[in-house]
Amino acid sequence: MRKISYSLEVHAALDTVWNLLIEKVEQPQTYMPGVIQSRILQHYGNGVLREIRGEGLLIKEKVVIDKPHGEVHYFLLEHPLFTGRVVNRVVPSSVQSPVAPQVLTIEVEWSPKDEQAQRMIQSAIPEQIQNEVMDLKQKAEALEKEEALPLTTPYAFGMTLALPFQDAVAKVHQELQKEGFGIISEIDLRHKFQEKLHKEFRNYVILGACNPGLAYQAFGVEINIGTLLPCNVAVYSVSEARTVVMIMDPVAALALVGNDQLTELAATVKQSLQRVLSAL
């Protein structure tokens, strides 16, 4: 049996790489050259039985997904050229640092059935494995850059953090306090939807942020401004290790009033909130 292994560091969150490995199980034609069609024949508790077709090629594999160890195992059940298994693995390069790169590995342990297969395993297969690892690395890092871009809407601005939900909420509290904002309300939507509707929802909190000095100035200009306060900050999870923070745009909100003095004050508040976002 010939063993071939290739590894690269990937500068992306662990769950970003893992999700690509799972997508590779479900859509191999996106990742493996020569694959024309694939289908899942059976689902197991920890994996699937799948069939892959290429030009003159039919492969049947049992796929075992081991998320605690970051591994996806492919056991060849039917293959015209080889017997054996393949392991796709992603593990952190450092458990101490949450921003450390991941180590992505594809490991092949195949026994060739004939001379043609023997030549392939000595020449074409190693290059193919390297290309697959490189392709996964590029996809993961491209996704990471895309998610790191600032998020904007006509009424809010924000960003995606490479932090678990609870850590992100704590960080938002900390940076708001540094800019003089207190949290006067905190709504846990996941808890409320579960309590009132018996529905499951992602981790999602709405923080009501208020800078007392700036709020006092606003009430001096427009007594009904309380209907547009406080400044809401939404924090919600998009995965186990990634969290979105969105902040209400005070300029957009207070533009409804049509008061130039408030517009100027709103610009000051927005600058302060943008500093909060930059510090996250």
Shared domain check, 211 and 77 = no
Last residue of a domain, one of 86, 121, 147: 147
* Cα 70 from Cα 124, distance rounded (Å): 27
For 63-86, how does the pLDDT look when each residue is reduced to its tens digit (9 = 90+)?
999 999 999 999 999 999 999 999
Shared domain check, 118 and 164 = no
Query: What is the pTM (predicted TM-score) of this model?
Result: 0.60
Last residue of a domain, one of 147, 170, 198: 147
Per-residue model confidence (pLDDT) at position 211:
96
* Cα 225 from Cα 210, distance rounded (Å): 13
Shared domain check, 137 and 166 = no
For 105-135, how does the pLDDT look when each residue is reduced to its tens digit (9 = 90+)?
999 999 999 999 999 999 999 999 999 999 9
Show the domain range for 135.
2-147
* pLDDT band for position 149 (cuts 50, 70, 90): low
Q: What is the CATH number of the domain that holds 128?
A: 3.30.530.20
Shared domain check, 60 and 16 = yes
Please say if the pLDDT value at position 167 is more than 80: yes
Last residue of a domain, one of 124, 147, 170: 147
For residues 54-71, give the mean pLDDT. Answer: 94
Side-by-side strand order, sheet with 71-78: 2-10, 102-112, 82-92, 71-78, 57-66, 47-54, 35-44
Shared domain check, 138 and 156 = no
How many structural domains does the chain have? 2
Write the CB contacts of 248 (distance below 8 Å, at least 6 apart in sequence).
Answer: 155, 156, 231, 232, 233
* Cα 25 from Cα 44, distance rounded (Å): 13
